[in-house]
């Protein structure tokens, strides 16, 4: 484990693997660098890339100076990029993709960007999150009710049925989820509530994300996530849309890794914005 100090004094912990073009992995809600799939992806990409797998602030081995602001998470990424020589590419998963997008638009040295299923809800058919999701989440976190915050996220943002959530609370994994529950508002901030209730994405909001960008989604994922990915690729200035066959939001890293390696290590041209290029499992 290595650490870097962010602008506000927070210590950001990370693992560094491999050699080649630098790629920073940005996990999503409740995630941390020791999450099995993040470690798996880091090892697969390390064959061709220098991979930075880090704990976002307040998670795992990373500390946090309060109060939180979205800009602090962007500064964390900037500190990691500076430690690696001033330039790097980013990959973001789910709401971590929203953070990666905002970092790429902030002129902190991002060269290339890939995101997987940023959960922007751009169609009327989206049933989640519930209208009071953000406000209720803040209340639960302020009260120190981490278990309640995880339950709220699972039920009212992800839409996991109540019986399954009840079973999850009896499993060892629940302890790990509770450990990062206080950071759930950070993912909500990265997404922006204005992107979560059926409105189309505003091209002006993403106009500064000019780096070559690969937007990927799974062919087996819910329609709302596919719609969100397509909408994102359409508004980004320099993006390609890739569909991954046989994959859902619960990623198969052995399917994703060759696609990312091609994009980050081989520096494949992006091509026509919004174009869909399939990838087989």
For 137-201, give the secondary structure using H, E and C.
HHHHHHCCCHHHHHHHHHHHHHCCCHHHHHHHCCCCHHHHHHHCHHHHHHHHHHHCHHHCCCCCC
C-alpha 57: how far from chain center: 14
Q: How far is residue 202's CA from residue 73's CA, in Å, rounded to a whole number? A: 22
- Paired with 25 in beta bridges are 53, 91
Three-state DSSP at 24 gives strand
Report CA-CA distances (Å) from 245 to 116, 220, 235, 259: 13, 7, 24, 12
pLDDT at 187: 98
pLDDT at 267: 55
Q: How far is residue 277's CA from residue 61's CA, in Å, rounded to a whole number? A: 38
159-167 contacts, C-beta under 8 A, 24 or more apart: 159/127, 159/128
pLDDT at 281: 43
Q: Are residues 107 and 181 in the same domain?
A: no
- Helix, strand, coil abundance in the chain, percent, nearest 5: 40, 20, 40
pLDDT at 227: 96
Closest CA to 116 of 201, 226, 18: 226
Ranges of residues in the chain whose predicted pLDDT is under 70: 267-281
Q: Are residues 83 and 179 in the same domain?
A: no
Encode burial over 26-59: b for 16+ CB neighbours within 10 A, e otherwise: bbbbbbbbebeebbbbbebbbebbbbbbbbbbbb
Number of structural domains in the chain: 2
| 125 part of a folded domain | no
Q: Are residues 63 and 138 in the same domain?
A: no
CB contact at 8 A, 240 and 271: yes
| 169 part of a folded domain | yes
Q: Are residues 16 and 63 in the same domain?
A: yes
| 127 part of a folded domain | no
Q: Are residues 108 and 227 in the same domain?
A: yes
Report the CATH number that the domain containing residue 52 is assigned in CATH.
3.40.50.1820
Q: Are residues 239 and 178 in the same domain?
A: no
Q: Are residues 184 and 64 in the same domain?
A: no
| 229 part of a folded domain | yes
Backbone torsion region of residue 3, taken as left when φ is above 0, otherwise alpha when ψ lies between -120 and 50, otherwise beta: beta
Q: Are residues 186 and 204 in the same domain?
A: no
Domain extent for 149? 133-191
Q: How far is residue 206's CA from residue 224's CA, in Å, rounded to a whole number? A: 20
Across the chain, which distance is largest between two alpha carbons, in Å? 49
C-alpha 244: how far from chain center: 17
**What is the 8-class DSSP label of residue 55?**
P
């Amino acid at each position: 484990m290595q650490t870097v100090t962010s602008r506000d004094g927070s210590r950001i912990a990370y693992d560094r693997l491999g050699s080649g073009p630098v790629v920073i992995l940005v996990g999503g809600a409740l995630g941390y660098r020791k999450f099995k799939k993040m470690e798996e992806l880091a090892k697969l990409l390390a064959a061709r890339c220098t991979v930075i797998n880090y704990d976002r602030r307040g998670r795992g081995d990373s500390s946090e100076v309060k109060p939180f602001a979205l800009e602090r998470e962007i500064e964390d990424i900037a500190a990691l990029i500076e430690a690696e020589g001033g330039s790097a590419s980013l990959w973001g998963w789910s709401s971590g993709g929203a953070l990666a997008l905002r970092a790429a638009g902030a002129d902190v040295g991002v060269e290339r960007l890939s995101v997987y299923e940023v959960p922007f809800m751009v169609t009327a058919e989206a049933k989640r999150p519930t209208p009071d999701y953000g406000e209720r989440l803040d209340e639960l976190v302020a009260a120190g009710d981490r278990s309640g915050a995880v339950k709220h996220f699972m039920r009212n943002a992800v839409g996991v049925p109540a019986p399954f959530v009840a079973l999850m609370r009896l499993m060892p994994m629940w302890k790990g989820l509770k450990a990062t529950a206080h950071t759930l508002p950070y993912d909500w901030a990265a997404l922006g509530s204005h992107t979560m209730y059926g409105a189309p994405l505003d091209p002006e909001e993403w106009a500064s994300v000019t780096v070559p960008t690969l937007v990927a989604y799974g062919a087996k994922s819910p329609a709302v996530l596919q719609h969100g990915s397509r909408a994102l690729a359409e508004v980004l200035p320099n993006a390609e849309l890739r569909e991954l066959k046989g994959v859902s939001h619960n990623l198969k890293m052995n399917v994703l890794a060759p696609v990312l390696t091609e994009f980050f290590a081989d520096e494949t041209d992006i091509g026509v914005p919004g174009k869909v290029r399939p990838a087989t499992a």
